[in-house]
Structure 1
Amino acid sequence: MRGDHLNLVIGVAAAIFATFSWSLNFLSPYVTGHYSAYDFIGVRFVFAGALGLLFVAMHWTQVCRLRVGEMALAFCLGMVGYVGYLACIMGGVIYAGPVITPAFLGLVPILTAVIGNATNKTLPWTKLIALVALAACGLCLTNLEHFARGERSAGTPLLIGVCFSLSAVAAWLIFSVFNQRAFERNPQLHPIAWTGLMMTGAGVGTLLLIPLGLQWSVFNFPTLGFGWSNAGHLYMWALSLAVVSSFGGAWAWNIASKRLPMVLTGQLISVETLFAATFGLLVQQRLPAANEIVGLLMILAGAIGAVRLVFAPSV
C-alpha cells in the first residue's frame, strides 16, 4: 500500500509540473516581437523534433524494445497532440475569433475525467460529477472577462471556427486516451524514450504543415528574415520552451499517465488554467478580479477533491 501511495504522490507531482510547464506557452505572445505566433510555434516544434531525435538516439536501447506498433503510436501521438492540436487552435482563432476556441477547450479536463471514469471506473459518479461541475464553474468564471469582451471579425465563417475548435478538443482527447492506454498496456515503457518519439513526430508534422502556413501567409519570416540580429530572441525562447514545455511537460505527463488513473489526470489538467492565469496577471501587472479569484479557487478545489478521493483507498 505504501508503494501505491508513493506512486500516486509522484504521479500527482508530475502532472502538476506538466501543467505548469505547459502554462508557459501562454507567455509566447509576449516574446515574439514583430514575428507572429505561427513563426514561434514553427521554430519551437522544429527544435522539439530535433531534441526528440537526440533523446531517441540517447535511449536507443529502450526504443528498440518497443514494438513497431508502439513506435508508430508514439510518433502519431506527437503529430496529433502537439501539431494537430495547435493547428486546430490556430484555425479556430482565425475563423471564430479569440473567445470561442478557449471556451471549447474548457471542455478538455471535464471530458477527459468523464471518459477516464467511464473507461475504468475509479471514482463514484456522484462525487465525480460534483467535482467536474465545480471545475467547470471555475473555468467559466475565470474566462468571464474574455466572454464579455469577445468579438469576431465580420464575415468570417463561424461554423468553420467551431469545427476547428471541436477538432482541437478531439485531438487532445485522442492524445490523452491513447497515451494513457499505452502505459496501461505496457507499464515498462520508458518515459524519455516515449517522449522522444512523440517529439520527433511533432517535428515531422510541423515540417509537413509549413507549406500550408506559407500558403496562408501566416509566417512573418519571409519578410522579416531568419538572421540572428532580428530573430535571435525568437530562437532562444523557442528553444527554451521546446526543452521546458515540449519535453519537460510531455515527459512529466507520461510519468503521471504511468502512475495515475485517467480520471485524475483529466481533473488535474484544469490546474493549467491556474498557472496560466497567474502568469497573465504578472505580465499585466494587476491583481485578479473577484470572479477570477473565485474561479481559480473552484478549479483548485476540484483538483484537490479528486486527488483526495483517489488517495483515500491508499492512505
Structure 2
Amino acid sequence: MTSSRSLTLGVLNGMGSGALWGTVFIVPLLLHDFTSLQMTAGRYIVYGLISLALLLPRWNILKNILGKAEWIALIRLSILGNVLYYILLSTAITTVGGPVTTLIIGFLPIAVLVMGIRAGSSIRVKQIAAPMSLSIIGILLIVSRSFTAHATATPTHSVAFSTQIIGLFCAVGALASWTLYAVENTRWLLKTSTVSDHDWSLLTGVVTGALALVLVIPAFVFHAAPHAWLDWARFWGVCSATALLASVVANGLWNRASRLLPLTLSGQMIIFETLFALLYSFVWAHRWPSIVEFCAIICLITGVLWCTAAHRTPHNTSE
C-alpha cells in the first residue's frame, strides 16, 4: 500500500522535475543561432561530464553493485529517454511542425498510464477515467491554441506527403521511446534498490554523455557555422545550465518520484512539464494566458489532483 506521505512526496518530486524540464523549451529561444543537433550534443556532453564528476567519490562502491545487466539497462534507458527521443522529436518538429508533434507527444501521460495498468497496477480504469478525460481535454485545448497560433504566425506551405509520413512516424516513435523509458526506468529503480535515485540518474548521465560523443562530428563539424567567441560562451553557458538543472537535478527528482509513486500516477507527473513550459512561455512573451490556455491549465491541474486522490482511496490498494 502506498502511504499518503509517499504520494505527497512523489507528487512534489514530479512537480519539481516538470518545472526544471520545462526550461528546455526556452533553450531554442536563447540559442536560436545554433542547430538543434548542436544543442542536444552540448547538453548531453555536459550532462555526462557533471555526472562523472559527481559519481567519482562513490565509484568504488557503485562498481561492486552494478553488473552487466545494469549497464545494459543504463545504455537502453539513455538511448530511449535521451538520445533517440530527442532525435525523433526534433525530426518530427522540423517535418510536420510543432502543433502536430505536440498533439502526439502530449499523450505521453496516457501512454504511460496504459502501460502501468497492463503491468498489473491495482488501480481500476474506472477510478481514473474521469481525471484522465480532463487531462485529454486539457491537452487538446493546448494543441488547438498551438494550431491557431501556428496558422496565423506562419505562411501556408506545402510539405511532401512522404516527408509528412516520416515526420508522423518520428513523432509516434518519440512517444513510444519515452513511454518505454518511463516504464523500464521505474522497473529498474525498484529492482536496484541499493542504488540511490540520484546515483541512478548520474549513471544514466555518464552513459548518455558517452553516447552523445557520437553526435560531435555531425553537430560541430558538418554544421560548423561561424560564431564569435561570445556566442560560443553563451552556447556552453546555456548548455551547462540546462544539463545541470534539466538533466542532473530534474532526472534525480523524476527517479525519486518514480520510486515513490505507482506507474499509473507517476506518468501523470509528465503533465507538469507542459504546464511549466506554458508558464515560462507566458513570461518570455510578457503576456497572460488566453481563455483557452487558462481552461487547459485548469483541466490539467484538476486531472492530476483527481488522479492523485484516486490513488489515495483505500480500495485501490487492497485488491
Q: Which residue of 2 aligns with 1:20?
A: 19
List gaps (5 residues or longer) in structure 1.
Answer: none
The C-alpha deviation readout for 1:246-303, integer Å capped at 9, x for no partner, is 1111101111111110000111211211111111011011111111001110000010
Q: For the Cα contact (< 8 Å) 1:79–1:198, is it kept in 2?
A: no
Q: Tell me how far 1:81 sits from its aligned partner.
A: 0.5
Q: How high is the TM-score relative to the length of structure 2?
A: 0.90
The answer to whether the 8 A contact 2:38-2:220 is kept is: no
CA RMSD of aligned residues (A): 2.1
Aligned residue in 1 for 2:166: 160
- Distance verdict in 2 for CA 1:145–1:279, change over 3 Å: same
Which residue does the alignment assign to 2:289?
288
Identical aligned residues as a percent:
21
Partner of 2:117: 117
Tell me which of 178, 183, 186 is aligned to 1:177: 183
Indicate the residue corresponding to 1:86 in structure 2: 86
Distance 2:94 2:65 in 1: 42
TM-score by length of 1: 0.91
- In structure 2, the residue matched to 1:207 is 213
Task: Name 2:98's counterpart in structure 1.
Answer: 98
Deviates more, 1:57-66 or 1:25-34: 57-66
2:33 partner letter: H
How much has 1:213 moved relative to structure 2?
Answer: 4.4
Distance 2:106 2:138 in 1: 10
For 1:137 and 1:230, how far apart are their aligned partners in 2?
41
Q: CA deviation at 1:23?
A: 0.5
Instruction: Find the counterpart in structure 1 of residue 3 from structure 2.
Output: 4
Which moved further from structure 2: 64-73 or 302-311?
64-73
Q: Which amino acid aligns with 1:41?
A: T
Q: Is contact 1:187–1:258 with CA below 8 Å preserved after alignment?
A: no
Farther-moved stretch of structure 1 (190-199 vs 82-91): 190-199
Q: CA contact under 8 A between 2:49 and 2:209: conserved in structure 1?
A: yes
**1:263 has 2:264 as partner:** yes
Distance 2:203 2:171 in 1: 26
Equivalent residues of 1:75, 1:197 under 8 A apart: no
After superposition, give the CA deviation of every residue in 1:201-223 in whole Å (9 maximum; x if it has no partner). Answer: 221222213444468x5x4xx12
Report what 1:68 is aligned to. 68
Distance 1:263 1:119, change over 3 A: same
In structure 2, C-alpha distance between the alignment counterparts of 1:131 and 1:286, rounded to whole Å: 29
**1:84-123 Cα shifts (integer Å, max 9, x gaps):** 1110011111221222211110111111112112213232
* Contact kept in structure 2, 1:97 and 1:153, CA below 8 Å: no
Quote the residue 1:142 is aligned against: 142
Structure 1's 48 and 269: CA in aligned 2 closer, same or farther, altered over 3 A?
A: same
CA–CA distance in structure 1, aligned partners of residues 57 and 102 of structure 2: 37
Work out the CA distance in 1 between the residues paired with 2:285 and 2:63: 44
The residue correspondences of 1:226-305 to structure 2 (distance < 5 A) are 228-305=229-306
Note if contact 1:122-1:310 (Cα within 8 Å) is conserved in structure 2.
no
Larger CA deviation: 9-18 vs 287-296: 9-18
- CA deviations 1:155-209 (Å, max 9, x no partner) are 3410000111011001101110100111222333321221111112221222213
Matched residue SS, 2:34:
coil
Q: Is the 8 A contact 1:141 1:291 kept in 2?
A: yes
Instruction: Give the 3 Å change call, closer, same or farther, for CA 292–13 of structure 1 in structure 2.
Output: same
Q: Does the residue aligned with 1:120 lie in a helix, a strand or coil?
A: coil
State the Cα distance separating 1:13 from its structure 2 match: 1.2
Q: Which runs of 4+ in 1 moved over 4 A?
A: 150-153, 212-215
Which of 169, 177, 193 in structure 1 is aligned with 2:199? Answer: 193
Unmatched tracts of structure 2, length 5 or more: none
Provide the aligned length of Structure 1 versus Structure 2. 308
Which deviations, in whole Å up to 9, do the C-alpha atoms of 1:119-141 show, x marking residues without a partner? 13232211222221110110111
**Which deviates more from structure 2 when the two are superposed, residues 94-103 or residues 261-270?**
94-103
* 8 Å contact kept, 1:256–1:265: yes
